[in-house]
């Protein structure tokens, strides 16, 4: 009987020992299956940092676009101002041409009508502010300027058929001045339109394009 008790006690010790080893093994392997815990506060810090980076990138992008729009606006304004000067120069030349033609040629063209058309075109041009161009005023000017161009071309073509007038120094000088002015106007119109198109494209692509602005530059198409 004493041997049986000893055997039972030994079995209990073995069982308790195995259980303790299993507990130790379970604790030692808990870290393998446990997910990393950064804590709620640390997670919020990472999120705020990420949002701050995104916000900074957006601000930098908007600032860059705003600066580019400002640059294009200044370039368009400068080119439009130069274009106005060249157009005014052409109006003056047209007036000089009308004054240089002898009265004997009057039956073939309306001198006073040409002066009035030139004056009307100049007044329409002067009403346009290069810094805040009005689309309505630009359309009105283009209409007036095209009318002036049509009348001037007819006059020049008629003058070229008259040998006496074609050899007149003042008439010839005015016609040559018109050719140079037309070339300058064509060049500056092309440069202005290129800048205006770039301005409009960039503005439509930004949040600024969602708001209609009165200073949007309009494409000029003077020549038909």
The one-digit pLDDT tens for each residue of the chain (224 residues) are: 444 454 444 444 444 445 445 455 444 444 444 444 545 566 777 777 677 777 777 777 777 777 888 888 888 899 999 999 999 999 999 999 988 888 877 777 788 888 899 999 999 999 998 888 888 899 999 999 999 999 999 888 888 888 877 778 888 899 999 999 999 999 999 999 999 899 888 887 765 444 555 446 788 888 76
Q: Is residue 168 part of a domain?
A: yes
- The pTM assigned to this predicted structure is 0.69
Q: Using alpha carbons only, what angle is made at residue 216 by residues 210 and 221, rounded to the nearest 5 degrees?
A: 130
Q: Tell me the three-class secondary structure of 32-87, residue by residue.
A: HHCCCCCCHHHHHHHHHHHHHHHHHHHHHHHHHHHHHHHHHHHHHHHHHHHHHHHH
Provide the domain count of the chain. Answer: 1
Alpha-carbon distance of 76 to 217, in angstroms, equals 7
Domain that holds residue 133: 75-210
The answer to the question of residue 11 being in a domain is: no
Is 204 inside any structural domain? Answer: yes
Structural domain includes residue 49: no
220 alpha carbon, distance to own chain's centre: 16
């Amino acid at each position: 009987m004493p041997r049986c008790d000893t055997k039972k006690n030994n079995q209990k010790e073995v069982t308790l020992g195995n259980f303790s080893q299993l507990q130790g093994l379970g604790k030692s392997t808990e870290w393998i299956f446990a997910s990393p815990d950064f804590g709620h506060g640390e997670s919020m810090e990472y999120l705020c940092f990420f949002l701050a980076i995104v916000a900074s990138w957006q601000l930098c992008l908007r600032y860059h676009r705003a600066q580019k729009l400002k640059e294009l606006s200044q370039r368009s304004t400068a080119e439009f101002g130069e274009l106005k000067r060249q157009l005014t120069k052409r109006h003056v030349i047209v007036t000089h041409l009308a004054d240089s033609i002898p009265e004997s040629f009057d039956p073939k063209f309306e001198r006073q009508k040409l002066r009035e058309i030139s004056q009307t075109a100049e007044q329409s041009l002067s009403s346009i502010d290069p810094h805040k161009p009005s689309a309505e005023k630009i359309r009105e000017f283009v209409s007036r300027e095209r009318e002036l161009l049509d009348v001037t071309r007819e006059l020049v073509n008629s003058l070229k058929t008259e040998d006496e007038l074609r050899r007149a120094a003042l008439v010839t000088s005015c016609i040559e001045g018109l050719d140079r002015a037309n070339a300058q106007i064509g060049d500056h119109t092309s440069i202005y339109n290129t800048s205006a198109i770039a301005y409009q494209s960039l503005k439509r692509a930004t949040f600024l394009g969602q708001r209609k602005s009165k200073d949007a530059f309009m494409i000029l198409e003077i020549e038909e």
